[in-house]
Every structure is written in C-alpha cells, then in structure tokens.
Structure 1
Amino acid sequence: MTTIKVVPARRKSLRPGTIVKYVLLTLFAVPWVGVPLWLMLINSVKREGEAALLSVALPKQWAFSHNYSAVIHEGHYFTGLRNSLLVAVPTVLVVVLLGSLAAWGYARSPKRRSQLFFYISALSILLPPAVIPTIYLLTTFHLDGSLWGYSLMVVGTRLGSVIFLTTGFIRGMPLELEEAAEVDGASRIRTYFSVMLPLLRPILFVSGVLLLINIWNDFFFALLLLRGSENATLPLTLYSFASSSFVGIRWNLVFAHVVMTSLPLVLVYLVAQRRVLAGLTEGGLKG
C-alpha cells in the first residue's frame, strides 16, 4: 500500500516592491482619507462649542444622542431620505434599462448614422446640461419644482454614461449568441431579456452603483429644479439645515447630518463591493 505524502502549500512571500507599494498607499490614505473621515465622525458626537474647534481629539462630553436626534427632527432627515430614494432608485433602473437597450443598438448597427448618435450620446458626459431650456420645458409641462421633473432631467443627462460604458462591453461579446436566439425564434425583446441582460449584468451593476452615488450626492441641479421643503433631497436638507442658524454653523450637527446622509451609500458599498470589483475586472477584460 502506497502512502501519499501531502506537501503543504508554500505561502507566497511579498516582494520588496509590493511592500513599498502598500506602504506608500497607506501613507497616502491616512492623511487624505483617514484623517477627514475621523474628523467627521468624532466631531459629529461633540458639543457645539467643542466641535467648532474642528479638532481630531476625543470629545470631553459625548453628545451622540442629542446631535443625531436633532438631525432627525430639525434637519428633516427622513423627508430627505424618502425623496432621495424616490429619485435615485427608479431613475437608476430606468437609465440602466434604456441605456443598455440603446447601447445594444449602437454596438450592433453598421450604419454611420447610428455611430453618430452614439458619439452625440457619449458627448453628453462632457457637456453640462442646459439649465435654462430644461427649466423652460419643465415649466411648460407643469413639472417645474417637482420630483417627477427632476427625475426626468436626471434620466436624460445620465443616459450617456451608461451608453458609453455598455457599448464597448457589447462590442466585445460574440454575435453568435444573438444569432442562435434568433434562429430559435426569439424576438429582439426576448433576446435582450434572455440573452443580453444576463451577460450585461456585471457592467450594468457597476454603472448602477456609480449612477446611484452621483444622483444621491447631486446638489446643484436639485437646488435649481426642486421647490419646497417637502421635495428636498438629502443634500438640500443638509444645506438648509447648515444655513438655518443665525449664530453660525453648528458643526456638530452638520457633521452628524453628513454621516447620516452618507450612511445609505456606505451600506450599499459594503453589500456590493465584491460585485462592483468583479464587474470592473470583467469589464476590463472584455474591453
């Protein structure tokens, strides 16, 4: 009877270049990421006078419940959270769906006119939206100042980014999969939902997360297109809350509001980080 000797796998030793890279990244991250994050968190639980010093020291008196309770009640946090969700979630779904359909058409069409439309759509990433014509159109259709009007503007201005990312991804996919579905009698819509959409899931997931971050943090267009506190998103509630005091900025409450505004995005990142990295890697390999 022969015995099989199991040889333990050797651990890979880090090369000196890799160690230097990690050290440099750590030295870069601590002052530019770690310190601002700590400053925001620690000052969100201080008293008003102590937080005004903007120091990184621990608080002498903790005011966690007072600060965050004030943000919820005085800062209209849940109103802003509701409006941000009503804008961000449906908008991301619509932009991802319409953008992927348009990208599929651009990637498979041999016509020069389609390529022209693709470049025009991609150009919208660089060009700023026309604010005055947008407000005029929304006013004409009685949507100015509403969440519906703001959502339509976001859909129109964010389509270009999804089209740009997804078109290159589709061009790297074999055409035989779509031809096989067509031979089996599938319609174009059926081919999209049964064949293309599962294959596009990685890049669409990455695009959706990037869109969600962009829309969630949008302040400029929300300030111009939304009217009334009942339609304010989280960036607008933060702005009105920070500027509501007559004696100066209450930094402890501002930092607490920033923490609570960023909390949903942090939770999304913690849940989706592996899929985002996988989508970026697969997108890079496809390209």
Structure 2
Amino acid sequence: MTARVTTRFRETTRVVLLTVVAVGWIGIPLWLLLVNSLKPLMEASALGLGLPKTWSLLDNYSTVINEGAYGTAVMNSLLIAVPTIASALLLGSLAAWAYARARSATMKVAYNLTVLSILLPPAVLPTIYELQLAGLDGTRLGYFLVMTGTRLGTVVFLATGFIRAMPAELEDAAEVDGAGRMQIYRHIVLPLLRPVLLVGSMILVITVWNEFFFAAFLLQGSERATLPMALYQFASASPDTSIVRWNLIFAHVVLTSLPLVIGYLFVQRRIVSGLSEGAIKG
C-alpha cells in the first residue's frame, strides 16, 4: 500500500512540475503573443498580459494581410516546404537504407559526413558561389536544392539506426522471390519506416517553414519571400523607425504559425498512431 501511495505521489508531482514548466515556458509567451495581436499600437507596446481595452482584431489582421503580402508569402512557403520535405524524406530514407546495409568503410565515412551536416554551420558563401555558377542564385529552385541538401542529414540520422534494427531476412526473402531493389524499398522498407519518417517530417516541417537564415541570402525580391522573410520585411517597413508596431508584428507571427497549427490538427491522429505503432514494434 505504501509503495502504491509513493508511486502515485511521484506521478502527481511529475505532472504538476511539467504543467508548471509548460505554463511558464509555453503558455505565457503564447498568451502574450495572442492577446497583444488583438490590441491597438499603444496598448500592445506595453507588452501586457491583460485583455485589450480596445479590440483591434480586424484592423491588425487585415493590415497584415493587405500590407504584409501574406498571401504571396504563404504560397512561396508552400512552394518551398512541400517539395523540400517530400524530397528530403525520399532521398534521406533511400540513403539511410544504403548506409544501414553497407559494410564498406567508404559508406561508413559517407554516413558520418552526412550526419555531420546536422552540426556543421552552414557555408553560405560557397553555397552562393555554386548557385551563381549554376545560374540559380536568388531563385526558388536554388533555395529548394539548398534546403533539401541541408535537411537530408536529419532524416538519414533518424532512419539509419531504425533500419539497422530491422531484420534483413525480410529483404533477402523478397529478393529470392524476384523482387527488385525499388520493390523491396516500396513494399517492405518504406512501410516499416513510417513511424520514424513521421518524426522526421515533424522536424522538417518546423525547421523548413520557419527557416530564415538561408532565405535572407538566397532569395531575392519580395515576390519570392517566404513567411519568415515577409515578417522581417514587414517589421522593417515601419514608416517611423523609432516605433515598433508590436500589434502588427504579433498578428503577423500568429498568421505565420497558423498554417502549421491547421496542418497539425488534420494529421495529429496519424502522427500519434504512427508513433505508437513504432513504439510497439520497437
């Protein structure tokens, strides 16, 4: 009985501590963001947590949509994020399969170099130089190629260890039955990789959608700006440089995050079921 009480007390304490940390770390900043996006300029500049005395919801959000090129930025972000994530998952899972089943020292070195790209700082100047040589500097295609290449390491790192834990006998049996390499990948490896690819896609969606560093150097012109770039340009375009339009900036941040929230609400069940399935299989 004492052991049960002790266990229950520990679980309750853990839940309380996690709740306090979540409220302080996530809840308060999120509330600050939301509530100040509904206030007029003078109220929002105080950065208070109270409800607005004067509501400016329609004014703030309509100004951001009309003056902040929000619609164009959303389309630009989608044109980059969707093919980047799809390409990184496909190419990364194929590379991880090759690395996991390889025995040569060359492949081990290649794997380590690929994974090392997660930790190395981005080489901006050589990247810009190579894109200029290829005639892709400042284009969406060049930005897409860079984003895909810099995100492959994450997928390879996550998927390689997962594939190594998978029995190779399944692939050998399929090969004996006459299946080709791509058939084995499509019908055996890829379905088993679904849980880890869901995790990888979550990481990629967040990092690609919110990426600003490369966009600032590789995308030229406001017509190609993604949402983070559009937010930066909108915040920098204040007619009075001595005044920060916090109400509009907060509203732009909310709208920038809105597609991610909507997307998560649609796929959360698949993500949870996929992760649970992977945990059971593991």
Q: Same fold (TM over 0.5)?
A: yes
State which structure, 1 or 2, has the greater radius of gyration over its C-alpha atoms: 1
Q: Percent identity?
A: 57
* CA deviation map 1:48-99 (0-9, x unaligned): 1111111011111111111111111100001110000000000100010000
Match among 246, 258, 264 for residue 263 of structure 1: 258
Does structure 1 retain, via aligned residues, the 8 Å contact 2:93–2:156?
A: yes
- The equivalent of 1:155 in structure 2 is 148
- Is residue 2:109 matched to residue 1:121? no
Does structure 2 retain, via aligned residues, the 8 Å contact 1:44–1:67?
A: yes
Does structure 2 retain, via aligned residues, the 8 Å contact 1:96–1:207?
A: yes
Match among 75, 82, 95 for residue 82 of structure 1: 75
- The equivalent of 1:3 in structure 2 is none
Cα distance in 2 for residues equivalent to 1:122 and 1:283: 22
Cα distance in 2 for residues equivalent to 1:188 and 1:231: 39
Cα distance in 1 for residues equivalent to 2:276 and 2:96: 20
- Is residue 2:54 matched to residue 1:53? no
**Partner-residue secondary structure (3-state), 1:81:** helix
Cα distance in 2 for residues equivalent to 1:109 and 1:215: 30
Cα distance in 1 for residues equivalent to 2:173 and 2:125: 48
- The equivalent of 1:138 in structure 2 is 131
Deviation of the 1:270 alpha carbon: 2.5
Deviation of the 1:280 alpha carbon: 4.7
Query: Over aligned residue pairs, what C-alpha RMSD do you find?
Result: 1.7
Q: Structure 2 counterpart of 1:119, which letter?
A: N
* CA deviation map 1:239-283 (0-9, x unaligned): 011111132211111000000000111122223334434555565
Cα distance in 2 for residues equivalent to 1:264 and 1:229: 20
Alignment: residue pair count:
276
- Is residue 2:64 matched to residue 1:71? yes
Q: Structure 1 counterpart of 2:228, which letter?
A: P
Cα distance in 1 for residues equivalent to 2:27 and 2:81: 28
Cα distance in 2 for residues equivalent to 1:285 and 1:126: 31
Cα distance in 1 for residues equivalent to 2:17 and 2:92: 39
Cα distance in 2 for residues equivalent to 1:275 and 1:20: 31
In the alignment, structure 2 segments of 5+ residues that lack a partner are none
**Partner-residue secondary structure (3-state), 2:220:** coil
Deviation of the 1:165 alpha carbon: 0.6
Cα distance in 2 for residues equivalent to 1:266 and 1:139: 36
Does structure 1 retain, via aligned residues, the 8 Å contact 2:198–2:275?
A: no
**Partner-residue secondary structure (3-state), 2:47:** coil
* CA deviation map 1:87-114 (0-9, x unaligned): 0000100010000001000101111111
Q: Structure 2 counterpart of 1:113, which letter?
A: T
Does structure 2 retain, via aligned residues, the 8 Å contact 1:107–1:168?
A: yes
Q: Structure 2 counterpart of 1:96, which letter?
A: L
Cα distance in 2 for residues equivalent to 1:278 and 1:206: 12
- The equivalent of 1:204 in structure 2 is 197
- Is residue 2:181 matched to residue 1:221? no
Greater mean alpha carbon deviation, residues 23-32 or residues 232-241: 23-32
**Partner-residue secondary structure (3-state), 1:129:** coil
In the alignment, structure 1 segments of 5+ residues that lack a partner are 1-11
TM-score of the pair, normalised by structure 1? 0.92
Distance 1:111 1:204, change over 3 A: same
Match among 244, 253, 275 for residue 248 of structure 2: 253
Cα distance in 2 for residues equivalent to 1:222 and 1:285: 40
Q: Structure 2 counterpart of 1:56, which letter?
A: L
* CA deviation map 1:17-57 (0-9, x unaligned): 11111111111122221111001001111111111111011
Match among 223, 235, 238 for residue 231 of structure 2: 238
Does structure 1 retain, via aligned residues, the 8 Å contact 2:41–2:245?
A: yes
**Partner-residue secondary structure (3-state), 2:193:** helix
- The equivalent of 1:32 in structure 2 is 25
Match among 2, 5, 16 for residue 23 of structure 1: 16
